Amino acid sequence: LLSPLSHSHTSTPVPSHLFFLASLLLFAPPPILAVPSPPLLLNITSTSNTAATLSWSQPADNGGKPLTAYTIYAASPSPLFYASASSALPSSLLVSQLDVLHTLLSAIQQAEAGGEEEGPDVDDIFASISPTLFLPVWSGGESERSAVVSSLVANTNMTFFITASNDEGEGARSKLVWTVTPPSVPSALPPPTVGEVFFVDDTMKMPVYWDATDPLVAGGLPLIEYEVQIDEGFSADEYFPNRDQRGPFHTVGVTSEMYIELSEGHASYIIELFNMYFVRVRARNEQGWGPFSPPTLFEVGVNKKAE
């Protein structure tokens, strides 16, 4: 008879494939982490004279870690873009190098538009110019899929690419996309300057001149002419209670020069000594007239600027 404390026991063997799976879990190497692959489907959805809207899709591979940011870069063969972006061009950068950039970007654009792969020479040159000429113009979070890039210049060729980043770093660039911003009417000029009174054959004159040399205000086209207006003025005694009463304004001249002489008898009234006036100016290009400048307040015989 068997003792009540005795019993028979048969052990069940563990299948070998379970040992194999357990060993994989216990001794598997950690996943290889890397920077993300390039974002996909970068596209320019709209363009104005000062901005471009871009859209994209997330990268095919996030590098094994969540994405943290997207960064858009831009370049242009025009130095005006770099001035507008408030980033000074390196002193070693010459206009000839911008010409090389234009040729290079054109070659890359043609290759990418035709579905061709870029050759190593193009990639090497691109890598050498990218840190210098491609400026970061927008950065956003990992959930973003579109962006508006502003501070562009009218009538200028612009080229963009985008990168994705994770905690391991910034990934490779996307394909390039490009556009030409349309021209526009000129921007407002700075307030004009009024000089001292002088006399020609007993006729009182006052010089008015303005600065229209900044190419960023030209709208991407040559400036053709300027219109100068002054208001009807008031005596010095009326100045303080009426200092904000500007206008109505009357055109006193249209000129292709950045200079005009006001004189007695302009328009339908007389510019009188010691009276006070507001003067303003605007510019025109092939797109039309731009807005008037802020007005300058002057007293005939005294140069004084409006606050």
CA 142 to chain centroid, in Å, comes to 22
Residue 110 in tokens: 């043609």
Residue with tokens 């092939």: 286
Higher pLDDT, 236 or 139: 139
> Radius of gyration (Cα) for the chain, nearest Å?
34
C-alpha span between 205 and 277 (Å, rounded): 14
Q: How many residues does the chain have?
A: 307
pLDDT of residue 147: 96
Higher pLDDT, 271 or 93: 271
Residue 130, pLDDT > 50, answer yes
Span 38-51, pLDDT tens digits: 999 999 999 999 99
Higher pLDDT, 13 or 158: 158
Sign of CA dihedral 98, 99, 100, 105: positive
CA 168 to chain centroid, in Å, comes to 29
Give me the long-range contacts of 56-62 (CB less than 8 A, separation at least 24): 56/145, 56/146, 56/162, 56/174, 57/145, 58/142, 58/145, 58/164, 59/164, 59/171, 61/34, 61/36, 61/37, 62/36, 62/164, 62/166
Residue 125, pLDDT > 60, answer no
Higher pLDDT, 51 or 111: 51
Q: In percent, how much of the chain has pLDDT > 70? A: 65
| Residue 89, CA atoms < 13 Å, CB-side half-sphere | 19
Span 157-177, pLDDT tens digits: 898 999 999 999 999 889 888
Q: Where are the alpha helices (DSSP H) in the chain?
A: 16-27, 79-84, 95-113, 120-133
Question: Mean pLDDT throughout 52-67?
Answer: 95
C-alpha span between 114 and 269 (Å, rounded): 66
**114 DSSP assignment:** T
Span 70-88, pLDDT tens digits: 999 998 877 778 777 755 4
Span 275-286, pLDDT tens digits: 778 899 999 999
pLDDT of residue 141: 94
Whether residue 208 contacts residue 187, with contact meaning beta carbons closer than 8 Å, is answered with no
Residue 119 in tokens: 């050759």
- Residue among 156, 157, 139 nearest 148 (CA): 139
pLDDT of residue 267: 45
In sequence order, the 6+-apart residues with CB closer than 8 A to the CB of 67 are 36, 58, 59, 142, 164, 165, 166
Higher pLDDT, 306 or 197: 197
Higher pLDDT, 20 or 219: 219
Question: Mean pLDDT throughout 181-198?
Answer: 91
Residue 61, pLDDT > 90, answer yes
pLDDT of residue 77: 77
